[in-house]
Each structure stands twice: as structure tokens, then as C-alpha cells.
Amino acid sequence: MKAQGTAGEGGVRRHVLSVTVRDRPGVLSRISGLFARRGYNIESLSVAQSETPGLSRTSFVISGEQGTIEQLQKQLQKLIDVLKVTDHSEGPSVDRELMLIKVAVRTPEDRVEIRQIAQDFRARIIDVDRNALVFEVTGDEGKSNAFIDQMREFGILELIRTGRVALTRSASLRPTDVTSTTSRAA
Amino acid sequence: MNGAAAVLKALERQGVTIVFGHPGGAIMPVYDALYDSPIKHVLVRHEQAGAHAADAYYRASGRVGVCFATSGPGATNLVTGLATAHMDSSAMVAITGNVPSALIGTDAFQEADVTGITLPVTKHNYLVQHVDDIPRVIAEAFHIARTGRPGPVLVDIPKDIQMMEFTGTFDVEIDLPGYRPTVVGHARQIKRAAEAIAAAQRPVLMVGGGGQVAADEVMAFAEATGIPVITTLMGIGAYPAGAGQALGMPGMHGTVTANRAITHCDLIVGAGLRFDDRVTGKISRFAPNATIVHIDVDPAEISKLVKAHVPVVGDLRDVLPRLTELLGRLELDDWWQQLRTWRDMYPERFKTDKPLVSQEVIQMLERATAGDCVVTTEVGQHQMFAARLFPTSRPRTWISSGGLGTMGFGLPAAIGASFARPGETVVCVAGDGSIQMNIQELATIYKHQLPIVIAICNNGMLGMVRQWQEMFHAERYSEVYLADSNPDFAKLAEAYGIEGHNVFDRETAARIIPEAIAKKKPVLINFVVYESEKVFPMIPAGAGIDEMVIGDQEPDEGDGVAEKVGV
Ligand SMILES: Cc1ncc(C[n+]2csc(CCOP(=O)(O)OP(=O)(O)O)c2C)c(N)n1
Ligand SMILES: [Mg+2]
């Protein structure tokens, strides 16, 4: 990653950021364009509707020094369609990743063993086929990685991961209030 | 009323009286509506020039500049102008036509993804999707362009939407919940800044482009505290260059005094600037002993490159007066004595044992106008000479492409500035290379008989590049020679109907400059100058601000050979 922001404080750490944006055409390309333009490397990115109609929430994972991440937050905040940027590594927060993974089933013995491991991981079976099983795994990335390791010997046919999504733990946040900040045209 | 008429009505509501533009298929409904509109339109001969003129119109007046272009090639021609305005935080609104909505995304004739292309070079942009949104979008575009840190906003309007019946209202609410610039500085931060300044022994104030809106506040602060003032290329005019506390420009081609002051100071108040690399040189050697107080309306500029010990986010017009109130006169006698020694040791000087040189031409221009004019520049050596020898003393009168360094900016910028300040003389200090990048605008200048004096410092070279090749590429002069194929600029001017002169010697220069300025009409003067003149002092790229090459400005009458001088 390119050096951005005044470096030096505390070394490289992983951060989970979430960004509340207005559903406007091109808003995602504004965000991804910002990363590309300023030399940031995101590890994962996910976007979906938020609790407020018209607003989406983007979560992404990025590694960097404190100064770099602060600079990124300020640059994101400058985008007109961005309402709020939260760094979940700053305060108490919860985060999860969802993975769907399709594992090859070659023998009846394999099937038993795979189901046993899946149980230990609390992975849910969401599709059953004669030659394959599809599991849903939620948790942190470590859990997904460990599950992938376990399944490797059986044969992983396909997998997809959402990347981390996060929310702050505190209930003190007010519901997002869009109308109160509307100002009159000059 | 159709959408196009609504566009013009919405512009009128924003107080727009003038637009720079060029028509084409996808924006024809707007041009049709223009026929009945009180808004004046200036037909430029290239859309890039329209964008630069709109940009300079803002820089010279503080009123948002507006330009029009058609879809596809018209819009892509705006890109350099938008990027120039974006880098220099200039408020403009560009309106482009696009192909009809149904054709968007089909590679239609003259279709380009204009919002996509301009995304990184605008503060914000819009693709209008409903005709009744036009007044709100235009109101938001102006609001975004002129508030907070100013910048360009583009509004792209498909042709079918321009032609649809407008049924909306002009009494619109702007709806920008994600946009709330901080203009009022935080009281605690201002107090901390005041304490740090009061405790400093060797402080300096550095004013950037943000200072153009706050010249009175800068002056009041400087007068109350007695602090030395450095103005960056973008800050010229925000504090009078000739005032007693002025140290000149910092950075790559800054004055010895300003750069030494930065190295030796114990505190910098950075006001409305962004510590660009051309100002700081190598960051680790920049102001090594200084506490940095950084005041800027854009929080993302604070600690981006130079770590701020005391950040203050806010508008200078709010923060500086509050800071001034907390401070009395500072005890700076020793510091001033040191600064004066440097200033006396390194006055602006250049050698005139050669044929005519750019520097004396520019100095003559300064003397002939007594600073009572607007200066625009192109980009290159002449720009740096002008910054040092022809800095203006009033805000919004120094107009130069700083951040992007756009050759081709100066001539169209002179047009924008001239419309912004009718009656004032505008001097465009140009190079023979740069002027050719938008030379077609002589037609626009002729048509409107604008009082612009175009002074070409014609060294027959892409001089700035030549200087780097001489100094850093072992004199391997690669593709910088223009003299063998430059046009006869005087004849060229005359072909456009503009009075033109070719000047080869100092006597003629001294005579013709005051005459041209007195004429209050377009005059182009082509000064044929020494080809190997160099801009000194210079901090080589990547070097520290304390590693200036002083060259021509050496105090002892040396042999003119560049010499490395530490601090
Ligand atoms: C559009 C553009 N292209 C290239 C450059 C690189 N460049 C910077 S200065 C310069 C030479 C300018 O020549 P001229 O206008 O004759 O000015 P001089 O340096 O000779 O005074 C060039 C090519 C630039 N700044 N802008
Ligand atoms: Mg030249």
C-alpha cells in the first residue's frame, strides 16, 4: 500500500470500516475509485441496504497504519453521498463473515466425516447432493479459514465469502435521521 | 417551459450573468433557450478554454464560474479544465449535454461516460435523471461548488430531459445530508493555537490559496502580531507582496528568505494551504524545528503530508479573527533581525549582460502597471519569474495554475478574469510553448475587445523542461526546441485582428510595455528573450528545502555557476 497520511503511529493493523451512503447512481464507484486513486488496497468489501430506506451500508476491511486509516476516513467523509464513516476497531463492535462452501463427497465415509466436522464448526448444511454438500459458515475469518483447511482433503468445489461486516455494539446511536440536516437552498 | 429553459432559469436564480461555452448536438436545447435568456454567453473556441475561463472568473471575482459543453468530445475537452480547478479549489459549475437517456450505455454517437470520466477531478457530479430535478440539482451544484473547500461540480443532462416539459418548482430545498463543511473553528483548538503562537520565538505565517477569501483577516492577524508572512504560489495577493512583513514565496523556486525562515522557524501557522510537495520539498527536512498549526476548511488536508500539532478545521474568515483576538504583538526582534539580514543579502536579482531576459521583461511589466492589474500566467519558467517579480498585492488578482500546472491555462484565464473585473487591465504572462496550447482564444479576445496584454516570454524553448535537462539530464536537450518552428507571433496576433509586436531589445521593450498597458485593448507582445535563462533559487526535486541551489542570486558577484548552498 502506498504511504498516505502521516505515518509512524503504531504500525500496520487491520481495520473494519463501515460507511453509510445514499443510494445514488455511481456511489459505489465513487468509493472504489477513491481507494484506487489514493493507493489504498481493500481486502474485502460488501454493500447492502441499511435499516433506513434510501441508505446503504458498506463494510470493508483494510490494513494500514493509524494515520493512513484516519486519512482514508477523512477522504471518504468528503464524498458528498457519504453520511457516516465508522472505524470498528476504535470501539466495541461485532463483526461476522458469511461463507458458502461446496465440498465434494466421494464416499459414504467422507460424508459422515464431513458432517461431523461441520457440526463442530456449527456450519449449517444448506444443500445436499449425491456428490456434494453446501455449507453456510458464519463467524470471523479465522473460523472460515479453519473450516476451509479441514475441507481441503475432501475437495472444495467452490466457495464464496462476503468479507467482514460490522456494527458497533453500543445502542446509544440515534436512528439515522436524514431530514433534520436538510438545509435551504442558498 | 422545457428542461433546457429550466436550466437557464435555475442559473439565473443562482445569480449567473455569464457563461463560457461551446455548443454541439447534445446541448442544443440549452443553446436554443439561451437565445431568449438574459444570461450572456461567451463563445470560446475550445471547451478547455471555456473551463479555464469559468475557473478564472471565480478566482478573480469570488462568483461561481459556469461553462457549457456538448456531449462526448465537448465534455472530454473540459477534463483538463476541471482537473485544474479541482487542484486549485476553484468554484465552477460545468453543464454538459449528453445523448438521450434511452441511448445512454449504447455507445451512441458522441456518447461518453462523462460522470465516470470526471469523477476524480470534480468535487461532485450529477447525471440528471428527471426534468423536475433540474432546479434542485443546479442549486446543490452551486452550493457544493462555493461552500467549504471550493471546487468544480459537473451537471450532465441528457438531451431528452432538456426537451421535456418542466412541471416542477424553482423553490427547492437542497438535500445534502452528507455534506456539512465545518466553517466555525473549535474554540479549544483556537485557544491551543494562540498559546502555541504566543510561546514561539521564531514563528511564520504561511498563507495559501485559501487566503484569497480572507485577505482582510490575514492582514489584521499579521498587523496585530507582527509575524513574518510567506505566501505560496496560490496565496499571492492574499497578503501584499510589497508589505513590510512579506518574505515572498516558499518552495522549489521560492525566495531564499522564505525557505530559510521555514528551516529555522519554531512554529508555522499554515493558513488555507495543503503543504504541496512543491512547497515542502522532502518532507523530513521541512521545518524540522517547527510546531505546525494548520488551519484549513478541509479536514482531510490536515496531517495529510505534514503532521499538524495543532489542527484547526474551519474557514479562515472565522478562525483568523478569533485567533487575532487572543494574541497581542509578538516579541520577534531577534527573529526579524535575522530575516532582514537574509532579505538584504538575497534580493531579487538577475543578470542583464545577455540579450533581453524574461526576468527584466516581467519586471518592466510590474513597474508599468504598478501592480494595478490582474496577472494570469501560463506554466513554466516565466510563471516562476512572474511569481517572484510580478506578484500582485490585492486578493484575487494573481491567477495561475498551481496544483495541476496546466500549460494553456493563462490565456483563457485572462478572458475569465477580464469578464470578472471589467475595466481592469489583465496581463497574461506567457511562454512561447504554453501560449500555443490555447492560442485559438485570441479570437475570443478580439471579439470582445478585452483589455488584455499578452506578454510572451519567447525563449524559443520549453524552457522549464530545458532547465531540468541542463541540470539533471546531463544537458541532453530532448524535444524542447521551439524556435525553428514557432510562428511569427505578431503576425499571428494580427491575423486575429489583434495588435501584435515582436520585441528583440531592452529599449523597445521599455517603450512598448507602458504604451500597451495604456491602450486598454488587446495587445500581444512577443519578447524574444535569451534561451538559456534559468530559474533560481531552485530546490531540486526530492531534495530538502534547506538544499537550495542559489545560482544567479549568489550575493557575491560569482560566475553565475549554480552552487549548492546549505543553510
Ligand atoms: C499541458 C502541459 N503539458 C506539459 C507540461 C510540462 N511542462 C511544464 S513547463 C513546460 C515548458 C513550458 O514552456 P513555455 O511555455 O515556453 O515556458 P518557459 O518555461 O519556456 O518559460 C512544460 C512542457 C505542462 N506543465 N502542461
Ligand atoms: Mg518558452
Which domains occur in chain A, in start order?
9-92+172-185 (3.30.70.260), 94-161 (3.30.70.1150)
Average confidence (pLDDT) over A7-33: 86
CA–centroid distance, residue B407 to ligand 2 (Å): 11
Residue to substitute from A71, A80, A182, interface B, most B β-carbons within 10 A:
A80
pLDDT, position A5 = 42
Of A22, A26, A184, the CB nearest to B178: A22
The structural architecture, per CATH, of the domain B3-163 is 3-Layer(aba) Sandwich (3.40)
pLDDT, position B142 = 98
Q: Does B15 touch chain A (CB under 8 A)?
A: no
pLDDT, position A94 = 87
Q: B284 to chain A: nearest residue by CA?
A: A6
Average confidence (pLDDT) over B221-239: 98
- A33 with B120: Cβ contact below 8 A: yes
pLDDT, position B552 = 75
Catalytic residue among B9, B14, B20, B47: B47
**Which phi and psi angles does B353 have, rounded to 5°?**
-85, -5
Residues in chain B: 567
Tell me the C-alpha distance between B64 and A118, whole Å.
Answer: 63
Confidence band of B352 (pLDDT split at 50, 70, 90)? confident
The structure's pTM equals: 0.93
CA–centroid distance, residue B128 to ligand 1 (Å): 37
Nearest CA distance, A25 vs chain B (angstrom):
8
- A33 with B124: Cβ contact below 8 A: no
CATH class of B358-528: alpha beta
Q: B309 to chain A: nearest residue by CA?
A: A6
The CATH superfamily holding the domain B187-345 is TPP-binding domain (3.40.50.1220)
Model pLDDT for residues B326-340, shown as the tens digit of each residue? 999 999 999 999 999
- Give every CB contact of residue B247 below 8 A, 6+ residues apart in sequence: B204, B228, B229, B230, B255, B257, B258, B261, B339, B343
- Is the pLDDT confidence value at A181 over 60? no
pLDDT, position B460 = 98
Catalytic residue among B109, B165, B201, B515: B109
Confidence band of B559 (pLDDT split at 50, 70, 90)? very low
pLDDT, position A25 = 86
Confidence band of A173 (pLDDT split at 50, 70, 90)? low
Q: Would you give the end-to-end CA distance of chain B in angstroms?
A: 68
Nearest CA distance, B48 vs chain A (angstrom):
23
- Is the pLDDT confidence value at B378 over 90? yes
pLDDT, position A171 = 64
Closest Cα to atom 3 of ligand 1: B407
Q: B147 to chain A: nearest residue by CA?
A: A186
Confidence band of A11 (pLDDT split at 50, 70, 90)? confident
Q: Is B159 one of the catalytic residues? A: yes
- B385 alpha carbon, closest ligand: 1
Nearest CA distance, A184 vs chain B (angstrom):
5
Q: Provide Rg for chain B, Cα atoms.
A: 24
B374-377 vs B398-399, strand pairing mode: parallel
Give A119: exposed, middle or buried? Use CB within 10 Å, 0-12, 13-18, 19+.
exposed
pLDDT, position A10 = 66
Residues in chain A: 186
Q: Is B109 one of the catalytic residues? A: yes
| Per-position b or e across B465-499, b if 16+ CB within 10 A of its CB | bbbbbbeeeeeeeeebebeeebeebbebbeebebe
CA–centroid distance, residue B358 to ligand 2 (Å): 10
Closest Cα to atom 5 of ligand 1: B407
- Is the pLDDT confidence value at A184 over 60? no
- Is the pLDDT confidence value at A174 over 80? no
pLDDT, position A95 = 86
pLDDT, position A172 = 52
User: Which value does ipTM take for this structure?
Assistant: 0.90
- B120 with A37: Cβ contact below 8 A: yes
pLDDT, position B5 = 98
**Which phi and psi angles does B267 have, rounded to 5°?**
-160, 135
pLDDT, position A163 = 86
Average pLDDT over all residues of chain B: 96
Closest Cα to atom 11 of ligand 1: B462
- A182 with B175: Cβ contact below 8 A: yes
Atom of ligand 1 nearest to the CA of B408: 1
- B438 alpha carbon, closest ligand: 1
- Is the pLDDT confidence value at A8 over 50? no
Nearest CA distance, A180 vs chain B (angstrom):
8
- Is the pLDDT confidence value at B94 over 80? yes
- Residues on chain B touching A67 (C-beta within 8 angstroms): 303
| Cβ B480 vs Cβ B533: under 8 Å | no
Q: Does B115 touch chain A (CB under 8 A)?
A: yes
Average pLDDT over all residues of chain A: 85
Instruction: Provide the CA A124 distance to its chain's centre, in angstroms.
Output: 20
Average confidence (pLDDT) over A94-100: 92
pLDDT, position B558 = 44
- A185 with B305: Cβ contact below 8 A: no
- Is the pLDDT confidence value at A106 over 70? yes
Q: Where in chain B is the domain with CATH 3.40.50.970?
A: 3-163, 358-528
| Cβ B55 vs Cβ B92: under 8 Å | yes
Give B187: exposed, middle or buried? Use CB within 10 Å, 0-12, 13-18, 19+.
exposed
